[in-house]
Chains A and B, each alone.
Chain A
Amino acid sequence: MIETSMTWNDLLFMLQGAGKTLLITLWAVAGGTLLGTGFGLVRAAGPLWITLPLAFFLDILRSVPLLIQFILANSFQAIAGLGAPPFLVACTVLGLYTAAYCTEIVRGGVLAVPQTTRRAARSLGLTYTQDLTNIVFPLALRVALPSWIGLTLGVMKDSALVLWIGIIELLRSSQIIVTRIQEPLFVLMIAGLIYFLISFPISRIGAHLERKWREDD
C-alpha cells in the first residue's frame, strides 16, 4: 500500500471541489448553450448589420486568454461597484465563453441543413417556427451534438482557471492539500484521475455518436 498522510477528509474536500467544478460547468454550459443557440440562429440567417458586430464580439472572446477574461471581468465588477460574488463572475464569463464557441457550432449545424429541405418544409405549409423545430433542429442536432459534447468537456476543463479569482474548485482544493501534506505528485494524480473519470466516458460517448451519425451513412 502507498504510504501517505492524506486522509479521507482530504479526499472529501477534493470531491467537494469537484462538485464546484461541475456546478460551474453546469451553469456556464446551460447559459452558454441558450445564448449560443440564439446567436447561432442569428449568425446563420440574420441581416449583415447584426451578424458582423456579433461575429466580431464573439471572436474577441475566442482570441483572448480565458484567464485574462476572468481577471478583467472580476476587476470590472469591482470598479462598477456591482459586488458580484466570484461564483457569479465565473459562471458569467465562462457562460459567454461557451456561447462564443456554441454559436459557431449551432451556425455550422443550421447551415448543414440543405436549403432545399427547408424550402420543401415551408412549401408543405409549415410555419417558420415549425420548420425550425421540426426540420432544422433534428437535422442540425446530428451535426452539432458531437462538437457540443466536446465543447462541454472543454468548458469543464477550462473551469479550472477560476481558481485565480478565488474559487475553490477541484484543482485549487488539491493545491491546498498539497500545501499541507507536501505530496504533490500523489494528490495531483488523484485530482487528474477525477478529471479523467468525468471527462473520458463522456468524450467516448461523443466519439461514438460522431461515428454513428456520420453524414454519409
Chain B
Amino acid sequence: MFNYTFHWRPALRALPQMLEGALVTIEIAVLSIILGAAIAIALALASGSPNRLLRGAAATWVETARNTPALFQIYMAYFGLGSIGIFLDSYLALLAGITFNNAGYLAETFRGGLRAIPSTQTRAGRSLGLGALATFRLIVLPQLFRIVFYPMSNQIVWAILMTSLGVIVGLNTDLTGVTQELNVRTFRTFEYFALAAVIYYFITKLVTGSARLAAWRLFKY
C-alpha cells in the first residue's frame, strides 16, 4: 500500500533517550503547576481585594493568559523579554510561559472555588479565635482543595501537553525536543513521533489515573 518501509527498530532503540526526555517533560510540568498554583492563589485573592490597582493587575494577568495562545506566551518569554534585557534560555522561557498560562487558568478556578465556600465558614473560624491566616490555612484551603481538585488535575494534563511547545523555541531536552533531535538526524519522522505520542499518552493516563485514585482516597466522605 505504501511506497515506504517503516523502521521501528531505531525508534525503539532510542526509547531510553526518549524516556529521559519524558522525565524533563514531567519536571517542567510539575514545576509550572506548583509555581502556577502559588501565583494563582495570589491572583485569586488579589481579584477579590478592595484595592483597585491589585484587582486590575490580577485581571490583566488572567485575561491575557486566557485570551492569547500558549505559544504566544512562550514566544513573549523567549523573544519578547529579550528586548527589555531579560534573556531566558529555552528551558526557562518554556517554564515561564507555561507557568504564566497555568496561573491565569488556575486563578479563575480558585476564584470560583473561593466563592463556593460560604463566608460563614471564615466567620465561624474567626469567632472560634483563629487568626486570619490560620482560618485561611485550616478552614478555607482544605475545602478549596476539594473543589479545585478535578479542574487542577485537568490543568496538570494541559501543562504536560503544553511542554511539547518547547521545541518551537529550541528546547532539545524534553520529550518532544529529544524526538525532534532524533528526527533531524534520521528523518524517520513518523516512527519517532509515533513513539513519542505513545509515551505522552501513558504519561497523561498515569496522571489522570493517579488523580482519580487520590480523589477516591482523599474524598471518601
Contact = CB atoms under 8 A, between A and B. Distances in A.
A196 B204 CA distance: 29
A47 interface: no
Interface string A148-167: 00000100011011011000
A188 B201 contact: no
Contact of A160 (B72, B79, B161, B163): B72
A171 interface: yes
Contacts, number: 106
B67 A67 contact: no
A7 B161 CA distance: 36
A143 interface: no
Interface string A44-76: 000000000000000010011111110110011
Interface in B150-182: 157, 161-165, 167-168, 176
A121 B46 CA distance: 49
Interface residues of A, number: 38
29 contacts: A60-B201, A63-B157, A63-B200, A63-B204, A65-B164, A67-B164, A71-B189, A72-B190, A72-B197, A75-B189, A76-B190, A79-B190, A80-B1, A81-B2, A158-B69, A161-B71, A163-B168, A184-B80, A184-B83, A185-B79, A185-B83, A188-B76, A189-B80, A191-B72, A192-B68, A192-B72, A196-B63, A196-B64, A196-B68
Contact of A171 (B72, B80, B194, B197): B72
Contact of B201 (A63, A80, A157, A185): A63
Contact of A195 (B72, B157, B165): B72
Contacts of B71: 160-161, 171
B75 interface: yes
Residue among A63, A80, A163 facing the most chain B CB atoms (10 A cut-off): A63
B69 A195 contact: yes
A184 B72 CA distance: 12
A203 interface: yes
B216 interface: no
Contact of B72 (A79, A183, A186, A188): A188
Contacts of B200: 63-65, 68
